[in-house]
Structure 1
Amino acid sequence: MHITGIKTYMQRVDERPRLLLKIETSEGISGWGECYNHGPDWALPPLLDYLFHQIEGEDPRRVEFLVLKLNQQCRFPPGALGLAAISAIDHALWDIAGKAAGLPVYMLLGGHVRDRVRIYCGVYSAPDPERLLDQTFELNEKYGYTAFKLSPYRRDLHSGRWGELVRETGDWFGRIREISPSDYEFAFDAHAKIFEPYKAVQLAAAIALNDPLFYEEPLRPEHIPAWRELKSKLTVPLATGESLYNRFEFLSLLSAQGADIIQPDICVVGGVTEMRRIATLAEAHYVTVAPHNPMGPLATAVNIHFAAVQPNFQILEFKPHVHAPWALDPYMPVNGHMELRPDRPGWGIEIDEKVLATDDYVHWERKVTRKPDGSTAYP
């Protein structure tokens, strides 16, 4: 069996662009992968065309060899776009390997260490407690969710006194905890909007009283010593990693004892192959893995197989999609978990290429926040 061609499809999931990759082989077996659209979105198809020529004619089941080749053929370490493209290739190669063997990918990775994969739902906003209770009850009744992720900001960070925002957040979470079922868990994603570490400490203290599941990415990821200092001052689990790219960056974070939970993205770091290396490093540091996954049904499928085999996996991010018509049979939550599909080879999900033939791309880009004085801030 050898690789004969690729196809790329720029699509959307809900209101975000997503790029899908199909790798074709001489035996008629094809595999699918998903890129993270960092932007510019349309840079990915020609990049994948370029990378295809480095793997054309190769046996797609030699996943480790081909991913190493793609990384090592780069003159400089690949960055965001390069690793996003390599991630999709890695996914597609594993899909082919599983289909060729007649096995789900998780069996090729050593077999499952858990029977199902726990998930949490991203709410991502900070609604009034009573409204949030209605949302969480509905999600619990429909899908069995008992874990949710919120924003810790009740208003714009730069309008008014910071200490007042911190107090409001603490009071608000206290009310949520007061009226919610005791088994519900709430995480908070600060989205790297805080520049000063002491402010991140203050906000963490406000939510600490009510036992958050974790406190995610209050700071930018670049300066590792700041994460070491931050973690040393917190009494809540500190999570980060969606903006880190490879095992070397994660090793720096872990060696500095800068996180309790890491959140690599399987569509960012270079795919399953690199994700497992990162997770193994975390395991050696007594750190768990809660993958970043705001992606589409295909990326969710890939994450489920990773989570099934990884001993230090904790919980997976998943928000049910409203619009992803190309996924014929997406994994959906049952009792707050994703069930494995032992009778389905590869990723266990079917892609409808007829739907992909219709252009469904939507443009999206981050909006830059402006402070009251007109200067920019992290969004």
Structure 2
Amino acid sequence: MAPDGHVAVQPAPAGQLPLRLWAPPMNPPRIATITAFPLGIPFDHWSSPPMFAGRPRTTLDTVLVRVTTDQGTVGWGEAYGSFSSAVVPAIDQWVAPLAVGEKVDDVELPARIERTLHNLGRAGATIHAISGLDIALWDIRGKLAGVPVSTLLGGRRRDRIEVYASLLQYNGNTEEIRRVVDRALGEGFHQIKLHERTANAVAAARAAAGPSVPLMVDTNCAWLPADATAAVMEMAPSDLLWIEEPIWPPEDFASLAALRQSAGVPTAIGENAGNALDFKKMLAARCVDYVQPSAIKIGGLTPLWQICTDSEAAGTTCVPHSPFFGPGYLATIHVLAAKAKASALERFYCDLAFDPCGGFVPIEAGFLAVPDAPGLGGDPDTELIDRYRI
């Protein structure tokens, strides 16, 4: 035990797998309970609802995960929520029974659970569920140590992080795109990302933003390989910082490499990666300029940090996928604060009925301050969780 009563921490050297948290040897904290809270949060993006899986999307969905130790410390995590009907049972029936009773300073626990459950699938609901546990354990470790999570990652390299406005989909409506781009710039954002699939939509955003604003386009796996080069080259005159997820299927790294070479537009991929090993395959294929692991989909903060350090050591830039609002968002902020290369944070640009963690990291003039509080930076309001619980 450290002299101030906090648990002693051995932070990670830069570029290595993070942390060892050393608990008091006679009575180490152990996981007592794990509870999943599926949420549907109403939102307004100042237009008709975008479509998702053939239906209007009226809520942004997530799963918050509360982990309590046998000594009363509470940590919060987050798992991908668009498939909460599968993720919550994965937590309740598979992950929680394997985690309860284990030590909170055991950084290999989520990986062991993943290995134990590998027959349930190496991607999807099981890995999403493990993500929530891993993030919550980091929150607990920081709270026990009395330090922000960025300290456990070896210390923050920056105190402020730029945030880019990640627009929801406007289905190619150029008038609405110009209006919302103007709105985002007027609120102080300096970078814009679209979720569109047409060159006209991209050109409208460029005209509204002007020539100097970084502009990115996420097409959500819009094209088969044979069609992708022509589509991306049609957008190229709009001077894109990157084209994101341009090819279906997203793991066709050979076709992505060919597109990157032929179109001459930087590529960004990774939000659909099934597990951390996919990123090594991306780097080997030389198909990517910006890797985009998602903390709430890839297994949590631990693999997110490892992917960041490995990919940036190999010469790419890690810009994590983070259009979510809970503890996974806070975890991503701490990774961005501690990793080697500075990069901007993704924020879905909309008004939320309930912002689980936004109050801890307000965005001002396109930047936010990295939280100083122990752990991730703050706990969600449980009364509001109950209100928006699915």
TM-score bin, normalised by smaller chain: 0.7 to 0.9
Partner deviation per Cα, 1:76-103 (whole Å, 9 max, x = no partner): 4632111101100000000000011111
Q: 1:7 maps to which residue?
A: 35
CA shift at 1:175, angstroms?
5.2
CA shift at 1:265, angstroms?
0.7
Q: Does 1:239 align with 2:268?
A: yes
Q: Does 1:297 align with 2:326?
A: yes
Q: 1:216 maps to which residue?
A: 244
Correspondence for 2:370 among 340, 363, 371: 340
Indicate the SS of the match to 2:268: strand
How many residues were matched structurally?
A: 341
C-alpha separation between the residues in 1 aligned to 2:246 and 2:222?
6
CA shift at 1:359, angstroms?
5.2
Q: Is the 8 A contact 2:172 2:196 kept in 1?
A: no
Q: 1:140 maps to which residue?
A: 185
| 1:116-155 equivalence runs, <5 A | 116-123=160-167, 124-125=169-170, 131-142=176-187, 144-154=188-198
| 1:61-210 equivalence runs, <5 A | 61-62=105-106, 64-76=107-119, 78-123=122-167, 124-125=169-170, 131-142=176-187, 144-154=188-198, 169=199, 173-174=202-203, 176-195=205-224, 197-210=225-238
CA shift at 1:254, angstroms?
0.9
Q: Is the 8 A contact 2:78 2:326 kept in 1?
A: no
Deviation larger for 202-211 or 173-182? 173-182
Partner deviation per Cα, 1:244-270 (whole Å, 9 max, x = no partner): 022211111110001111111110110
CA shift at 1:211, angstroms?
1.2
Q: Is the 8 A contact 1:87 1:267 kept in 2?
A: yes
Q: 1:252 maps to which residue?
A: 281
Which runs of 5 or more structure 1 residues have no equivalent in the other structure?
Answer: 155-168, 362-379
C-alpha separation between the residues in 2 aligned to 1:78 and 1:178?
43
TM-score (norm 1): 0.83
Which runs of 5 or more structure 2 residues have no equivalent in the other structure?
Answer: 1-28, 43-58
C-alpha separation between the residues in 2 aligned to 1:38 and 1:272?
19
C-alpha separation between the residues in 2 aligned to 1:109 and 1:331?
19
Q: Is the 8 A contact 2:221 2:246 kept in 1?
A: yes
Indicate the SS of the match to 1:329: helix
Say if 1:176 and 1:7 are closer, same or farther in 2 by CA, change over 3 A: closer
Identity, in percent, stands at 26
TM-score (norm 2): 0.81
Say if 1:358 and 1:179 are closer, same or farther in 2 by CA, change over 3 A: closer
Q: Is the 8 A contact 2:62 2:81 kept in 1?
A: yes
Partner deviation per Cα, 1:308-346 (whole Å, 9 max, x = no partner): 11113522210254122554824231221221122x111
CA shift at 1:115, angstroms?
2.1
Q: Which amino acid aligns with 2:146?
A: G
Partner deviation per Cα, 1:22-78 (whole Å, 9 max, x = no partner): 000122110001110252x2222232122122222222122x221222123234463
Q: Is the 8 A contact 2:170 2:177 kept in 1?
A: no
C-alpha separation between the residues in 1 aligned to 2:337 and 2:381?
25
Q: Is the 8 A contact 1:152 1:188 kept in 2?
A: yes
Deviation larger for 236-245 or 144-153? 144-153
Q: Is the 8 A contact 2:64 2:326 kept in 1?
A: no
Q: Which amino acid aligns with 1:90?
A: D
